[in-house]
Structures are given as C-alpha cells and as structure tokens.
Chains A and B, each alone.
Chain A
Amino acid sequence: MEDVTYAIETHGLVKRFGKTTALAGVDLAARTGSVLGLLGPNGAGKTTAVRILATLLRPDGGSATVSGYDVVRDAHQVRQLIGLTGQYASVDEGLSGTNNLIMIGRLLGLTRSDARARAAELLARFELTDAAGRAAKTYSGGMRRRLDLAASLVGRPRVLYLDEPTTGLDPHSRNEVWGMIRRLVADGTTVLLTTQYLEEADQLAHDIAVIDHGTVIATGTPDELKASAGRQVLEVTPASRADLSAVAELLERLIGAAPAVGVESGQVSVQVEGGRALPDIIRAFEDRSIELAEFALRRASLDEVFLALTGHRAEEETAAEAGKGEKAGTARELDRSSR
C-alpha cells in the first residue's frame, strides 16, 4: 500500500440494471491529488461509476479501489476516505444548515464543540452563514448545492466525488464551485468530477476519460485529447469586413475545404491538417494586399473532439432530456430493484 500513485482505480467495471448494461467494463485511474474528469452525455454511465466508487452500488464485475482499498470488501475503510456530492447525495431538508453539518460531524466522531466549529467554518467558507439557522428546504438551488458540498467536506475527505456539481447552477454559482474545487485540489484532495460540460472538464481536469454507452472511448489530458483529433482550426479575421468573402474564397482555393464565414464576428475559420500550408496562405494575402486583423491557428476544442469521438455532441442530449429529475428517479428505481 506504500506506493499508491492512483487514488482511484477501476478495472473492467461492469454494472447491469436488469437488461440495461450501464457499465460495460470501465477502466479508470485518477492520480493522487489530481482531478479526473469523467466526461460524457446523460445516461453514459457516469453516475453509476460514481455510485460504485462511493460504495452505494455493488459492481456486477471488475474491481474498484480507493487508495488501494476495495470498494466492496473494504467498504468501511473506503468510507473513511471519501466524500460525495452528487445529483442524489442529499441534505436533510428539515434541518438547518448548521444542524445538517453538525449531524455529519457527530457521525464522523467529532465532539459536540468540534462539530459545531467545523460546521461554522464550512458555512462561512460556502457563504451560508446568513442562512445557517434556516431549514435547508428554504434554500435556493445554488445554496442547497453548496450545503451539499460542505456536507461532503466535513470529514476532510482524501477523495472527493463530484457528480455533475454545477448542473443547473447559474454562471455565478458555477464559478464559485469551480473556485472551491481548485482550492481543494491545491490542498491535495483527489477529485473525480463527472460532467457533461466540456468547458468544465477543460477548466478543471488534469486527465479526462470520455465515456459513452458505458464504455471509456478516450483518455488523456485535455491537450492530448485535443491533439488526438488531429485537426487544427485556422481563424482569419480581415481588417476590413469588405474583404470577408475574398478571404473565404482564397482559403477555399488554397486548402480545398469550405470555410465557415462568421458574418457577425467578421471571421473566417477552416479546419487544416498541420501548419505547413500557412506561409503560402500568408503570402497569398500579401500578394492581394488584403490586410489582416487576426491570423490564428488553434487546436480543436474539446467540443469538436467529443463530436469526432462519439459522433454526437455532448450537450445535445442534455437539452433533449430536460426532465432530468424524472430520469434520475427511474435510475434509482432500477438500481433498487436489481439488488
């Protein structure tokens, strides 16, 4: 156990709910102290993986360990290491913010005064001090999520599972949660973050595993994933909008692909393979004395990578499955009846 470099490891994790296979052999590894982003559309198996790692579900096959402890055999040890904030892990709505956190502190073996102090500290950290005495059912969605996050941190977990922590939050609350995660990681916490938002994974994760239909279809750092798509995007903005169509025409002739013309942004963008053609392109613009405001080669965004890997966009399904709560309910029923 001395040389554990991975705080979370799974091998060939399988989970079935009746006839549905939620996980079809998932391998994951999160380096100790890093953020592993588990990226995939709704229904890809992210939550099932998290629930297994949080000892809430038993896998039907494969193994999962946290700091070397098996989530089935050593569940009690694993529970001493983890914290979970998810779509399901919840706060007691009938209790105040303070009492919710004191209860968890007491359950974790803190003395009454230590539990009270820890609760006050966390409430202050999550800007909930003003609402500390109110029942959690009076909290807004963002406040409830912050209380939930605070609840999962009472025991200072080594490994934190965040199951779509920003789904349904407004941009301000989302930024707050991101800042929180960064601070936790700076303190040495290992984080498993599931998300449907490519930007979130890009912002926070050291490593990303892309999961779709219960299978990991790609892994790597955000940079590696972007590079693996092989394509880059050339963006050209002429100084004068009058040149927009001339630029587009020229790029199409030189590269042989139809560029996208952004009339609003005044920008023409086109996918290119490598940067070898760039000097020729710049010379062509000079020859025609088209003055450029911007000329940039950037790697494909994670969004484009995801599209290339799965054949569909990550966030498309989210919009289609707006009745999220309902869906979550069915998943819960499924995992109950299967046990």
Chain B
Amino acid sequence: MTTATLPAPAPVPALSRRPSPATAVANSFTLAWRSVLKIKTNPEDLFGLWLQPIMYLVLFTYVFGGAIAGGTHQYLQFSLPGILVLSVVFATLGTGMMLSQDISTGVFDRFRTLPIVRWAPLAGAILGDLVRYLISILVTLGFGYVLGFRVQTSVLAAVTGCLLLMAFAFALCWMSALLGVLAKSAQGVQWWGFLLMFPLVFGSNILTSTKSMPGWLQAFVKVNPVTYLTEAERALFIGGPAATAVERSLLWAVGIFVVFAPLAVAAYRRRT
C-alpha cells in the first residue's frame, strides 16, 4: 500500500469549543452509572458493602454490649446510630481507592482523550459513591431491625438522619478523593485513610459515653465532627435535643467540603 494514492479527505466537521453545562451533567451521570455498575458486577465489592455493616453490628453489639451497657438490647439502641456513622465514614475510603486505581490503570487516560468535562470523572465517581453510602445505611438499619433496634422518634426524623449522614459522607469523600489523587497506589489510600479515619471514628462517642475518658481525649472528642454527627443521629433516631448537633454536623460537612473539594479538584487537574 506504500505508493497508493490517498482518498480525498472528508471535510472536518464543525467542532464545539468547550463542553456545555448540559454535557457536563450528562458526563458526570454516565460516569456515576459506571461506578454503580462496578458495585453490581464486582461480587467482592458488593459482598463487602453488605457484610461490613452487619459485621460491625454483630461484633460491637455482642462484644461491648454486655460490658458497656449491661445488656445487648439497650446497647444496640445506643450504638446503632454510631455504627451508621462508622460504616459511612469508612465507606468514603472506597472513593479514593477507586480513583487511585483508575489513574494507575490508565482508564483515566482514556477519559482524558475524550471531549468531556475535565472534572467529570471525579464528579461521577463521587455521585456513584453516594449509592454505596445509601446501601451501607440501609443495610445497617435493616439488619439492626432484625437484631431488635427500633426507631423511637418518627419516620421523618429517621429520614432526616439518613440525609444528614449522606451529606456528611458526601463532604468527607472529597478528602478521600484528595488522598486517591495524591497517593501512589490504592494500598496507599487505604493506609493513609485508616490513619486519618481511625482517630476520627474511635476518638468519639460512637461506641461509649465520653465520661470515662481522660481529659485530653475528651477535649479531642469535643471538637471531633464525628461526635456531633453521632449525637445528631442518636437524637434523630432515638430522641433527645437534635438542633444543635445537627447544625454543627452540617457546619462541619460544609467546612470539610469547602476545604477539600477545591484541593481534590486542583490535585486532580495537576495529576491528570
């Protein structure tokens, strides 16, 4: 074919100068669909997503229940809202791990050669992860009910509780996204994530009352956003004054989002 004459070139079609906002939204939703599909088609992922909250519930309720609250039933009422928080906070790590994996396998290179909005892969991953958080919340609540947990407030309050959890997770997953973009590997995300998340989750009132803790730890627990979120969830699911705790949790969520979302986007643009 070396000396063959070339066919007459077709004219170059009219090209768009930049993606429209509608394209941006459509791109993000397509990529969210992708990440939800990956949950569905990856049995291990699905299994973990279901099993983790169940494991937390069973372990914490039966290991600590007797010792801390003198009975598993009372303890379940106390701990379930906290376990909801714990499950969701740990689930946000998945966002960073998936991003890290996408970057290292070259899937993002493919995206970047396409005429799509640059931040769509990031937005899509996070939108898709909201579905994971929802599954995690519903499994915890559902299995909690099987074990004997009962909402003592109202349906409206419980739904508000779930929405608050989603909002907090949405904010926190930008931190995970930042880790995902910066870390060298998915394992790196896991290590850094656990180093950051463990004190947040366990240096709080999730599993016990804070009264028995030493002063310095109480000081940390008092400023820990997870503490406020857990307080708010307890109030919304089993009763008590909710307003202040809800307000502070939301403020924290907004604060985390405002700091980490731009950082994650900036790091993402730099790396890709």
Contact = CB atoms under 8 A, between A and B. Distances in A.
> Is chain B a partner of chain A in the same complex?
yes
Given A109-B23, A188-B10, A95 B37 contact: yes
A107 B30 CA distance: 7
A113 interface: no
30 contacts: A4-B12, A31-B6, A33-B8, A55-B112, A76-B17, A76-B18, A77-B15, A79-B113, A79-B115, A80-B16, A83-B113, A84-B113, A89-B113, A90-B105, A93-B105, A94-B42, A95-B34, A103-B30, A103-B34, A106-B26, A106-B30, A107-B30, A107-B116, A109-B23, A182-B1, A185-B1, A186-B7, A205-B2, A206-B2, A223-B2
A107 B12 contact: no
Nearest to A187: B7
Question: Which bracket fits the contact residues of B?
Answer: 35 or more
Interface string A22-63: 000000000111110000000000000000001110000000
Interface string A175-209: 00000001001101000000000000011111000
A7 B10 CA distance: 11
Contacts of A33: 6-9
B12 A158 contact: yes
Given A32-B9, A34-B6, A107-B27, A94 B113 contact: no
B115 A1 contact: no
Contact of B38 (A94, A206, A336): A94
Contacts of B18: 76
Contacts of A83: 113
Contact of B110 (A90, A93, A339): A90
A56 B265 CA distance: 17
Contacts, number: 119
Interface string B175-209: 00000000000000000000000000000000000
Contacts of B15: 69, 76-77, 80-81
Interface in A87-145: 88-96, 99, 103-104, 106-109, 135
B212 interface: no
The winner among B17, B18, B113 for most chain A CB atoms within 10 A is: B113
The winner among A76, A81, A82, A88 for most chain B CB atoms within 10 A is: A76
Interface of A: 1, 4, 7, 31-35, 54-56, 67-69, 76-77, 79-84, 88-96, 99, 103-104, 106-109, 135, 151, 155, 158, 182, 185-186, 188, 202-206, 221-223, 336, 339
A104 B41 contact: no
Given A81-B15, A108-B114, A109-B26, 10 more contacts: A76-B16, A76-B17, A77-B15, A84-B109, A89-B113, A92-B38, A94-B38, A103-B31, A158-B10, A203-B1
B61 to A, nearest CB: 34
A76 B15 CA distance: 9
Nearest to B102: A92
Nearest to A82: B113
A80 B107 CA distance: 18
Interface in B1-59: 1-4, 6-10, 12, 15-19, 23, 26-27, 30-31, 33-34, 37-38, 41-42
